[in-house]
Chain A
Amino acid sequence: MASSDHSSDHSTGSFPADPMHQFEIKRLLDINFAGYDISFTNSALFMLIAVFLISFTTIFSVRKNSIIPSRMQSIVEISYEFVADMVRQNVGSQGKNYFPFIFTIFMFVLFMNMLGMIPYGFTVTSHIAVTFALAMLIFIGVTAIGFVKHGLGFFGFFVPKGVPVFMLPLLVVIEVISYFTRPISLSVRLFANMMAGHTMLKVFSGFVILMGFLGGWLPLAVMVAFTGLEILIAFLQAYVFAILTCIYLNDALHMH
């Protein structure tokens, strides 16, 4: 994207706001543990905010003995049923044990995407480091589940059934490659969506300032519409991330 050129220092003067500036990681508290840099950054702050918000709403808005739930409780229950349905449809009854994990992943990604939509917020999921770590965690976990369930038979997952023998070497290679690109596609999809959306919003907001009071209304209108779309994308990407996790889990449990 052309906007990435603006990240260099000398161009920030010509454009009102550097669209990539919002993704800057700021160290709020320098922490060094045994030679490793584990500084508390704005990214970590927003992760903790997300964790706090999710824990707080899911624990304190749910009252027992309530036939008619409050609004917050309704939201929590709807998210619960939503993820439970997703797991049931994509993984089946065996997926019940992994429901808390899928729910955690979905809520975490959703809240981090949504927190990025708040002005001055930071989008944790717009960093490939975070999304790739998340995807690798899922990939390793799911692969481990596959080997625990099926032992060495899990290698059979890479051998398609009902295929002529002379085709097998080629197809096995393709299957293996497609399996190992899963964490890459999973993480890049989320990261690229979040980064592109936020960069676009920033670019249009720069146009509003550049075009001034007379011409700035058009990019402002585009921005408003785009903000709505971005909120949809924030939800959609969390959903896609969670449902792909379900599908990978289903593959590991049932091997197609």
Chain B
Amino acid sequence: MPQLDFSTFLPQIFWLLISLSFLYIVLSRYALPRVSDVIEERKDIIAQDIDSAKEYSAESEKAIQELNLKLSEAKANSQNLINKSLQDIKEDNEIKKSSLIKEINNEILEAESKIKEKKETALDEVSSISETLAIEMLKNLSVGEIDKGKIAALSKMAN
């Protein structure tokens, strides 16, 4: 068994101590501080990134809320405008309607009075025509003197 060859113990242990102490110095002085720096730095950067991402998401959340607020405001405004204009149109319509009705009524009244006038004149004319007709007829019958007063009274009675 080569492991029990005592003559090899000293050189093995000597080189073990040399290499182990060299490795310890290299690792503890140079390598490990660097590795821990790099790891810490990365952790910091990641933490910062996460923080800024959270900030951004909070900002966007805020912006969304503002947008929603504005949207609802705009909706309410437009609803108001619609209601108002509807009301206006209704009122306008009412006014126009009532004035139209008045005009129509006036015209109807006018027309009625005209009809009445025409009727009266027509009746007057009819009575005068019938008077003259009666005079002419009586003239043709040569009954002598015609009493215009009597005929007028008669036509009035016929009316």
Contacts and interface: CB of A to CB of B under 8 A. Distances in A.
Contacts of A137: 17, 20
A103 B32 CA distance: 9
A43 B12 contact: yes
B12 A127 contact: yes
Nearest to A41: B11
Interface in B9-60: 9-17, 19-20, 22-24, 26-28, 30-32, 34-39, 41-42, 45-46
B22 A130 contact: no
A39 B42 CA distance: 45
Contacts of B31: 55, 58-59, 62
Contacts, number: 137
A104 B28 contact: yes
B22 to A, nearest CB: 6
A62 B35 CA distance: 7
Contacts of B28: 100-101, 104
Contacts of A40: 11, 15
A25 B16 CA distance: 14
Interface residues of B, number: 37
Nearest to B24: A104
Given A65-B41, A104-B28, A108-B20, A23 B3 contact: yes
A249 B98 CA distance: 107
The 7 tightest CB contacts between A and B, nearest first, are A44-B15, A100-B28, A58-B31, A25-B8, A47-B19, A129-B9, A38-B14
Given A48-B19, A67-B45, A100-B27, A130 B36 contact: no
A100 B11 contact: no
A130 B16 contact: yes
Contact of B32 (A7, A58, A67, A127): A58
